[in-house]
């Protein structure tokens, strides 16, 4: 009896008949853009609801003093959600999406569509010194990937939809669709072709429209009195590029050092206790470290120092410029620590907002120092350009940095200074650190997709699919006669692995090794396999060697077959010919 088709199955059949694949991808791009924009709006609103709840009623009277305990409560709630609701850890947003592209063919678990929505607002709303951009991108990317899976799209299309959704999330947050497209190209290493450009545009536009419907026209970062570029300030923008590069390297160093330290703490409750205490002390002493910090940034851009530093212990001395400079230096030194501890301690958030925060603070620091030296500079200009310099240094996305600031300022008056500062910051940091916050672990494991097509194709290959197991194995104690009758006569291969009782590979034998003696019957009983076997040219270690290392082993040994070892046990061989065939096929479809 034929199984009755569901309405969704009938729709898929109708779609295949009436809508071309290209047009259907365009339609899905709009859908994922709308969903990504909606997810970003929901994430922001939940977070702001939690934050505003602490600023009302009786809690407001003790709000400053509760800075000690709020971050710990937030991390504890996040941990409980992970353990009892999600029952899994929540990965860092953008690295998780990058891993999905490189190793999962654009597939992401359905739980990722809600995991960040549940945990990121608790982290940020209770004072975690991180942003919501990373979780927004992760949520949007998960929607894109799962919609691609729902409609049975090919792997390449799933990846495109994932990146479209990620770009849509960023577009919705900052109301900057061009910067979001460049972010997809720079961070996700998407090849910019007509087939990818139009879906990216559609997703970014639909996400921005969704945001405007729910939030309106306002920007996250406010700006006033943007001045036109003055050629006399080239030197100052160049120096700012150097300063932002130094701060970028400091941020990266603190981030990875903190991450390494917290990884050694295996007890989750001890981890959040330590992290909660550190963040609590820092936010109590330096209140702008609490949460995303956009309100403080806007006050800093507009030079409203009285409001910006109102919660500081030294607020009565704000009129003294050197006090302001000292407080700003403290923010530069402490913000990376607060952000790193929040993320490493179990919080869920992103580094985008902290990077913008640091950039604004670095620009303001430079302006205030120059004023004390007798040089009058535009605070708004240098604060905004400083934000781009930090983005270029920490995220290593220079084009995204330039166009994001250009878009949120509503024009291109700062375009030349942005290019100067961003170029210097990017060149310095790239020379010192060849990875960014998002890609370090993937790059170290050779799992990162880049614009290098050869490297990208090798990264996408899966070892499981090219392992061959149709080899007849031998025992070391077998005689030559047993080998000829039980293996050589029955095998279509000229290679034989020698396996002991523990299934460990102890050697290999080829037909060339026995060609001169295989017909000498006087040796059939006296010569044993263990006398004929020899070591393989090299070994492929399953789960440890990536495809770049496998290819290098073939090149270094000139071998045509290499054995694969998994947990010390032999599981098969990889042939160079099969690997090159798989490479060519993947290259055609890439």
What is d(CA 584, CA 275) in angstroms, rounded to the nearest whole number?
Answer: 48
CATH number at 455-589? 3.10.580.10
Residues whose CB falls within 8 Å of the CB of residue 215, separated by 6 or more in sequence, listed in order:
41, 44
Residue 56 is predicted with a pLDDT of 59
Residue 333 is predicted with a pLDDT of 94
Question: How many residues in the chain?
Answer: 590
Q: What is the pLDDT of residues 416-432, one digit of tens each?
A: 899 999 999 999 998 88
Residues whose CB falls within 8 Å of the CB of residue 398, separated by 6 or more in sequence, listed in order:
186, 392, 422, 423, 426
- 3-state secondary structure at position 335: helix
How much is the average pLDDT of 251-273?
A: 91
Instruction: Yes or no: say if 145 and 158 are a contact pair by the CB < 8 Å rule.
Output: yes
Q: Which of 87-101, 235-249, 262-276 has the least mean pLDDT?
A: 87-101
User: Other C-beta atoms within 10 Å of 499: how many?
Assistant: 18
Q: Which fold has domain 16-214?
A: Clc chloride channel (1.10.3080)
Q: Which of 47-56, 219-228, 277-286, 399-408 has the least mean pLDDT?
A: 219-228
Exposure of 492 in the CB half-sphere (CA atoms within 13 A): 3
Instruction: Yes or no: say if 32 and 199 are a contact pair by the CB < 8 Å rule.
Output: no
**Residue-wise over 141-153: b if at least 16 C-beta within 10 A, else e?**
bbbbbbbbbebeb
User: Other C-beta atoms within 10 Å of 513: how many?
Assistant: 16
Residue 549 is predicted with a pLDDT of 81
What is d(CA 570, CA 575) in angstroms, rounded to the nearest whole number?
Answer: 15
Q: What share of the chain is helix, strand, coil (3-state, %, to 5)?
A: 65, 5, 30
Residues whose CB falls within 8 Å of the CB of residue 364, separated by 6 or more in sequence, listed in order:
300, 301, 328, 379, 382, 383, 386
What is d(CA 318, CA 323) in angstroms, rounded to the nearest whole number?
Answer: 6
Q: Which of 131-145, 276-290, 453-467, 505-519 has the least mean pLDDT?
A: 453-467
Residue 395 is predicted with a pLDDT of 87
Class of CATH domain 231-452 = mainly alpha
The percentage of residues in the chain with a pLDDT greater than 70, rounded to a whole number, is: 86
Q: Is the pLDDT of residue 276 over 70?
A: yes
Q: What's the burial of 15, exposed, middle or buried (CB within 10 Å: 0-12/13-18/19+)?
A: middle
Q: Is the pLDDT of residue 449 over 60?
A: no
Q: What is the pLDDT of residues 466-481, one digit of tens each?
A: 888 888 888 988 888 8
Task: Categorize the per-residue pLDDT at 278 as very low, low, confident or very high, splitting at 50, 70 and 90.
Answer: very high
Q: Residue 510: in which H helix or E strand, if any?
A: strand 505-510
Topology agreement, domain 16-214 and domain 231-452: yes
Q: What is the pLDDT of residues 306-320, one digit of tens each?
A: 777 776 665 566 667
Q: Is the pLDDT of residue 451 over 70?
A: no
H-assigned helices in 82-193? 93-103, 112-125, 133-150, 155-174, 177-187
The single residue listed with the structure tokens 């970028």 is: 248
Q: Is the pLDDT of residue 1 over 50?
A: no
Residue 417 is predicted with a pLDDT of 92
Q: Residue 498: in which H helix or E strand, if any?
A: strand 495-499
What is d(CA 579, CA 227) in angstroms, rounded to the nearest whole number?
Answer: 58
Q: What residues are paired with 497 via a beta bridge?
A: 508
Q: What residues are paired with 131 via a beta bridge?
A: 350
Q: Is the pLDDT of residue 4 over 80?
A: no
Of 354, 393, 400, the C-alpha closest to 245 is: 393
How much is the average pLDDT of 487-504?
A: 86
Instruction: Give the C-alpha distances (Å, rounded to integers) separating 586 from 457, 543, 555, 580.
Output: 6, 21, 20, 10
pLDDT, the chain, mean: 83
Q: What is the pLDDT of residues 103-122, one digit of tens each?
A: 777 788 888 888 888 898 99
Residue 366 is predicted with a pLDDT of 94
Q: Is the pLDDT of residue 187 over 50?
A: yes
How much is the average pLDDT of 538-548?
A: 84
Instruction: Yes or no: say if 170 and 133 are a contact pair by the CB < 8 Å rule.
Output: yes
**Residue 562 tokens, joined:** 């290499």
Instruction: Yes or no: say if 309 and 327 are a contact pair by the CB < 8 Å rule.
Output: yes
Instruction: Give the C-alpha distances (Å, rounded to integers) separating 296 from 279, 304, 305.
Output: 18, 9, 9
How much is the average pLDDT of 249-263?
A: 91
Q: What is the pLDDT of residues 20-76, one digit of tens each?
A: 888 899 999 999 999 999 998 898 888 888 877 766 544 445 456 666 788 899 999
Look at 94 and 350; give whichever has higher pLDDT: 350
Q: Is the pLDDT of residue 83 over 70?
A: yes
Residue 272 is predicted with a pLDDT of 92
Residue 316 is predicted with a pLDDT of 61
What is d(CA 574, CA 541) in angstroms, rounded to the nearest whole number?
Answer: 11
How much is the average pLDDT of 224-235?
A: 82
The percentage of residues in the chain with a pLDDT greater than 90, rounded to a whole number, is: 21
What ranges do the domains of the chain cover? 16-214, 231-452, 455-589
How much is the average pLDDT of 547-555?
A: 82
Residue 49 is predicted with a pLDDT of 85
């Amino acid at each position: 009896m034929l199984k009755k088709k569901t309405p969704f199955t009938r729709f898929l059949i109708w779609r295949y008949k009436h809508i071309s694949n290209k047009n259907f991808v365009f339609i899905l791009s709009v859908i994922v853009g709308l969903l990504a924009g909606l997810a970003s709006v929901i994430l922001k609103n939940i977070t702001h609801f939690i934050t505003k709840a602490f600023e009302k009623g009786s809690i407001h009277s003790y709000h400053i003093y509760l800075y000690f305990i709020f971050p710990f409560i937030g991390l504890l709630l996040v941990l409980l959600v992970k353990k009892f609701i999600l029952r899994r850890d929540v990965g860092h947003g953008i690295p998780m999406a990058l891993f999905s592209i490189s190793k999962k063919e654009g597939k992401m678990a359905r739980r990722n569509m809600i995991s960040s929505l549940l945990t990121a607002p608790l982290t940020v709303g209770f004072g975690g010194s991180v942003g919501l951009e990373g979780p927004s991108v992760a949520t949007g990317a998960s929607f894109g990937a799962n919609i691609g899976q729902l409609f049975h799209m090919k792997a390449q299309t799933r990846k495109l939809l994932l990146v479209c959704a990620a770009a849509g999330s960023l577009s919705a947050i900052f109301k900057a669709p061009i910067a979001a497209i460049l972010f997809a190209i720079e961070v996700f290493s998407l090849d910019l072709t007509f087939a990818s450009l139009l879906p990216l545009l559609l997703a970014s536009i639909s996400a921005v429209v969704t945001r405007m419907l729910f939030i309106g026209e306002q920007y996250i970062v406010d700006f006033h009195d943007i001045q036109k570029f003055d050629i006399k300030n080239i030197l100052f923008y160049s120096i700012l590029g150097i300063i932002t590069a130094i701060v970028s390297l400091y941020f990266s160093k603190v981030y990875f050092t903190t991450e390494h330290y917290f990884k050694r703490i295996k007890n989750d409750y001890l981890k959040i206790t330590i992290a909660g205490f550190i963040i609590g002390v820092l936010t109590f002493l330096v209140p702008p470290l609490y949460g995303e910090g956009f309100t403080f940034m806007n006050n800093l851009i507009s030079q409203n120092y009285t409001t910006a530093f109102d919660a500081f212990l030294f607020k009565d001395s704000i009129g003294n410029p050197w006090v302001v400079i000292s407080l700003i230096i403290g923010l530069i030194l402490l913000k990376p620590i607060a952000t790193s501890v929040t993320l490493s301690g179990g919080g869920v958030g992103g580094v985008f907002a902290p990077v913008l925060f640091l950039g604004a603070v670095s620009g303001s620091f430079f302006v205030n120092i120059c004023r004390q030296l007798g040089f009058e500079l535009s605070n708004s200009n240098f604060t905004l350009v400083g934000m781009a310099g930090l983005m270029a240094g920490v995220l290593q996305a220079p084009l995204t940095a330039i166009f994001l600031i250009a878009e949120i300022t509503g024009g291109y008056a700062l375009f030349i200074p942005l290019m100067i500062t961003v170029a210097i910051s990017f060149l310095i940091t790239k020379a010192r650190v060849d990875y960014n916050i998002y890609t370090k672990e993937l790059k170290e494991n050779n799992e990162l997709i880049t614009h290098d097509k050869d490297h990208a194709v090798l990264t996408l290959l899966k070892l499981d699919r090219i392992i061959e197991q149709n080899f007849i194995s031998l025992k070391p104690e077998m005689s030559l006669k047993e080998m000829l009758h039980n293996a050589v006569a029955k095998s279509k291969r000229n290679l034989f692995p020698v396996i002991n009782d523990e299934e460990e590979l102890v050697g290999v034998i080829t037909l060339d090794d026995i060609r001169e003696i295989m017909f000498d019957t006087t040796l059939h009983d006296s010569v044993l396999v263990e006398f004929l076997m020899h070591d393989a040219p090299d070994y492929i270690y399953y789960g440890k060697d990536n495809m770049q290392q496998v290819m290098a082993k073939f090149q270094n040994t000139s071998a045509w077959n290499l054995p694969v070892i998994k947990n010390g046990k032999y599981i098969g061989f990889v042939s160079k010919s099969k690997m090159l065939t798989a490479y060519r096929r993947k290259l055609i479809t890439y």
